[in-house]
Amino acid sequence: MKVSSLEREIRDFLLEEALAPRNIRTLEPDESLFKTGAIDSMVVMKAVAFCEENFGIEIPDEEIIPENFTSVRALARLIERTRRAKA
């Protein structure tokens, strides 16, 4: 399965910054962050801050819902939608 550069950036951030304390070393684009125990409210907030700072977007509060944080790929789609809405 092809991984986009956006997905790679998100995955790398999550593994290095947010998930390292949980001993999670690999993360596939469609792997459930909830099933692996890789995500909680603190990780969501770190991911939102990372995305806003690194991709020049502002994620609306109404988009900070579980469906947008189920996987690396879901988060990448949120970023892409937010970029399009901004343009």
Q: Which residue ranges make up each domain of the chain?
A: 5-86
- Tell me which DSSP letter residue 29 carries: T
Residue 33 has pLDDT above 80, yes or no: yes
pLDDT, mean of residues 67-84: 95
* Residue 87: band (very low, low, confident or very high) from pLDDT cuts 50, 70, 90: confident
Average pLDDT over residues 62-77: 95
What average pLDDT does this structure show over 44-54? 94
3-state helix, strand, coil in the chain (%, to 5): 60, 0, 40
Instruction: Give the SS3 label for residue 30.
Output: coil
Residue 1 has pLDDT above 60, yes or no: no
Can you say whether residue 81 is alpha, beta or left, with left for phi > 0 and alpha for psi between -120 and 50 degrees? alpha
Read off the pLDDT of each residue in 68-72 and give the average, rounded to a whole number: 95
The CATH classification number of 5-86 equals 1.10.1200.10
Of 23 and 33, the structure prediction assigns the larger pLDDT to 33
Going by pLDDT thresholds of 50, 70 and 90, the confidence category of residue 59 is very high
